[in-house]
Structure formats: structure tokens, C-alpha cells
Structure 1
Amino acid sequence: MIYKIFPTVLLVVLSLISTNEFFNETHNIKRTEAVKSIKTNSETSEELVYNNLNSNHFSLPKLESFVEALKGFYLLKEKGLVSKNILTLIDFSLSSNSKRLWVIDLTTNTILYNSLVAHGRNTGDEFATSFSNSAESYKSSLGFYATGEIYNGKHGKSLKLDGLEKGINSNARERAVVIHGAQYVSNSFIQNNKRLGRSLGCPAIPLELTNEIIQTIKDKSCLFVYYPSKAYKIASKLVM
């Protein structure tokens, strides 16, 4: 009798093993698909925006600087501290002889301008190395700003800035750190002096682009001055 039962039991056991193997294999497939999905989704929203930027024939900013800028922009937009979908990124880790300012339309993901921009005279020579929030330091300040109103000053049409990070750039308005045009922000100045001219702390831009850029970024758009500073990252509440 046992010989008649054994084949049946064996078939049941084999069937259970096959079923378990099937479920295990199915589980492994699903797990693999989930891992692939996680890897795909691990591309952050900021990286996705970066990878889909329309360069408009300009050079792209560095990924690291763009990601930091966009993360801060999202937080500031959520808090209502900036209102336009315009992001201006200045990368002071680059040579002042390179075009290290970008104005980006985040509605269309298009780079509108890529320009030379000056740093403060006490921030460095060709390269920026030192930053300050102090009055009469003649240094640039890092971090996030909201653009303010247009006015006509000693440099002509200029744009006021409000520093949004306490202790980092919060004295910008009192220091008269503004966006303005300057003759020393030009390729001819670089050719004659081997570096771009420097300001008293303002992010000065070429005269020929001043009106266009100011009109584009005025009235509560986001401006971010980037530099890979550990001290800034520790102090800032807007970068991770």
C-alpha cells in the first residue's frame, strides 16, 4: 500500500517545491523591478530638471551648483519669499574670466542668459576665495537672495537685492550689494588685465546685458551665489 501512496506524496511535494520556486522567482523578479524603479527614481527632481535643461546654445552650469540652487528655490517658493519661476545662479567656484552667471526660466527649462559676473575686490583676484556679510568688507556674500526693485544709481540702472540667509548675506541691502552694469566686466578688461575687474561686493555684470537681465529677474525672483564652502553649508538652512 505504501508503494501506491509514495508516488502521490512525491508528486505533491514536488508540486509544492515548484510552486515555492515559482513564487520565489516571481518575488525576485518583482524585487528586481522595484530596485530598478528605485534606481530610476533616485534621480532627484533637481537632477531631472538639469538633465532636461534647454541650453539655448549656452554652456550648462555644474550639476552640483544647479542642484543646490534649485533645492533652495523650491523652499523659498513654498514660503512665498520668491514668486517668479526665474532662477539666477552665480558660481563663484569658477574663474572670473569665465561666464559664471546663468539666468534660467524654470517654466520652460531654458537658459536665457550666460554672462560674466564680478566678485568683490577683497574676495579674491581671478578666483573668489573669501566671503563676508560685513559692511565695508568689499567682499561678496554667498547664498540665496530675492531680487528687489529697480533704481537708478551711480552705476545707472541697478537692481536691489535682499539677502535671505541671516548672518550669511542678510546685510546685502544695507551694504548696497546690488546688480549693476560695469565697464570692468568685459572681455576687453580680461585681455588687458588677465582677469575680470572686481566690485565692492556687488555681482556686477556687462553693461550691454544690464537692462535685459535686470528686467528679466526683477521683483522677487531667486538669485543664488554658489561656492563649495563647508562653513556655508553648515550655516545655511536652505542647502542640504
Structure 2
Amino acid sequence: MIRNFFTAFVLAAAFTACSSTDSRPDVQVTPGPHAPVASTAAPAAPADAVLEQVRRLAPDADPGVLALALEARACALRNGAARGTRLAVIDYSRPSTDKRLWVFDLERKALLHTEHVAHGRGSGENFARSFSNRDGSHQTSLGLFTTAETYDGGNGYSLRMDGLEPGVNDAARDRLIVMHGAPYVDPAQALRQGRLGRSYGCPALRPQVARAVIDTLKHDQLLFAYYPDDAWLAGSRWFGCSGRSARDILAAARGDAAGAASSQAVAAR
């Protein structure tokens, strides 16, 4: 009887989750611990070797953000992260009314998805401006995450994520920060009301695409969430492997992109 009571207590404690202020609160059951999936992917190329290719695949994305994502990924792989071939990049400096999520397959040299994505209600209205690793903040977290297992919960098919940056996003699993579909992620409604609906910190997607995006990213892939937060840019462990600062990486990529665009314009005359 004591064992049954303890089991019921643990399950009850797990009935908390990332949900929306713009829809009913959801209930999700926490699955068992994530079991890493062995990767057979070849070692990744250096970040600068694939940056130009990724720029061409996503010309509307900020080249500086792409460069930071690739640098963080390369640094993480050199330090033992699972060698998945897919990378998701979220640029939270953009408004929620814009598409600001890109999912790349770096092995196939393909852009798989470009999508709208919600941020947490505590982070802001149309623009996310505040970020947190604290439970109960209802804010989005920045930085590099590795993806984990999928499960069915109160928001339907969902994807667990584990933050790789201590103090920045490493509470993601405990906070139940997951990728899931949500009806409040409606681009047409967002244009009418001035923003997407918001989650409790989760990167929520349109229900129509959520399963496809999640299946693309599940099991030991990487997700990079960006915002020009000075403390995070200066302190992240994943921007130091090349010997350049995050600001240097951003400036170099943006400068190179501007120079390339200028050269193309001259050649077209």
C-alpha cells in the first residue's frame, strides 16, 4: 500500500507542463528517463565550411545567427555531443508574426522546414525580450539544446529537449519545456491580433506541421535558440572553440553576407 501511495504521489507531481495563456492549461505525463540513441553519423564539418551553404538554403535568415548556431554545434560535437545531422535554429529577435524557425539537414544539404514558433508568455508580446531558466517564469530559454524522446501528452505529440548550457537552459527537462503543436500558433490570427498565442516557455508549432517537424528533430539532434542577450553571448561555453567571441562571429558573418550581396549587385549591372 505504501509503495502504491508513493507511486501515485510521484505521478501526480509530474502533472505540470508547458501550456498557453491563450488556451486551456494542458496536462502532460512525464515519461521515463531519456535513453540516448547511438549515432552512426560521420563527424561534422567545421562550422565555417558549411556556413555559406546554409546561407543559400535560408537566405531570409540572419547570417550571423546561422553562424553562431553552426559554431555552437561544432563546438558541442567536439566536446562529445551526439552527432546528429539535423539542426534547428530559432531567432527570437524576430517577431512572432514572422517565420523564425529553420530546420536543416546538414548531411543532405537541405532545408527541411521554415516555420512560425511561439515563445513563452513571460517573455513578451509579439517580440520576446526576457528569457529565463527558472521554473514558473513562463519564459523561453536561450542556447543550445539536444533533442530527446517523444511522447503523447496534453498537447498531443511532443518532443523532450535537454538544455546544454548550465544556468541558461539546463532546467528545460524539469520545467517540461518541450516542442509541441498548439492551435494558438495560427499565423492568420497572429496578423489580426498582432502576435501569435504564447506558451509557458515551449517552442510551440502549428498543429498541422508539429508531428513532421518533431519527427525530423527527435533523438539526439540539436536546437539553437538565439536572442542578442549580452550576458549569454559573452558567457556561453559553445562560442569559444574557434577562439573568436560571439560578437566577432556575428560581425564576420554579417559583414561577409553584406559584401557578397554587394558583389552580386555589381555583377548584375
TM-score normalised per structure 1: 0.77
Unpaired stretches in structure 2, ≥5 consecutive residues: 1-45, 240-244, 246-269
Distance (whole Å) between structure 1 residues aligned to residue 47 and residue 199 of structure 2:
32
Structure 1 counterpart SS, 2:238: coil
Structure 2 counterpart SS, 1:53: helix
| Aligned match of 1:229 | 229
| Aligned match of 2:52 | 51
Query: Residue 54 of structure 1 contacts residue 110 of structure 1 at CA under 8 Å; is this kept in 2?
Result: no
Q: In angstroms, what is the RMSD of aligned CA positions?
A: 1.5
Unpaired stretches in structure 1, ≥5 consecutive residues: 1-44
| Aligned match of 1:40 | none
Shift of 1:53: 3.1
| Aligned match of 1:30 | none
Shift of 1:233: 1.4
For these two proteins, the number of residue pairs brought into alignment is 195
Which residue identity is paired with 2:71?
K
Q: Which has the larger radius of gyration?
A: 1
Distance (whole Å) between structure 2 residues aligned to residue 132 and residue 163 of structure 1:
12
Query: Residue 147 of structure 2 contacts residue 220 of structure 2 at CA under 8 Å; is this kept in 1?
Result: yes
Distance (whole Å) between structure 1 residues aligned to residue 71 and residue 109 of structure 2:
15
Distance (whole Å) between structure 1 residues aligned to residue 205 and residue 80 of structure 2:
27
Which residue identity is paired with 2:133?
N
Q: How does 1:163-182 map to 2 (within 5 A)?
A: 163-182=163-182
- Bigger relative CO (Cα 8 Å, ≥ 6 apart): 2
Structure 1 counterpart SS, 2:174: coil
Shift of 1:66: 0.5
Shift of 1:50: 2.8
Q: How does 1:32-181 map to 2 (within 5 A)?
A: 46-53=47-54, 59-181=59-181
Superposed CA deviations along residues 27-53 of structure 1, whole A, max 9, x for unmatched, are xxxxxxxxxxxxxxxxxx545523223
% same residue? 38
Shift of 1:77: 1.8
Structure 2 counterpart SS, 1:49: helix
Superposed CA deviations along residues 202-221 of structure 1, whole A, max 9, x for unmatched, are 00011111111111110010
Structure 2 counterpart SS, 1:134: coil
Shift of 1:191: 3.0
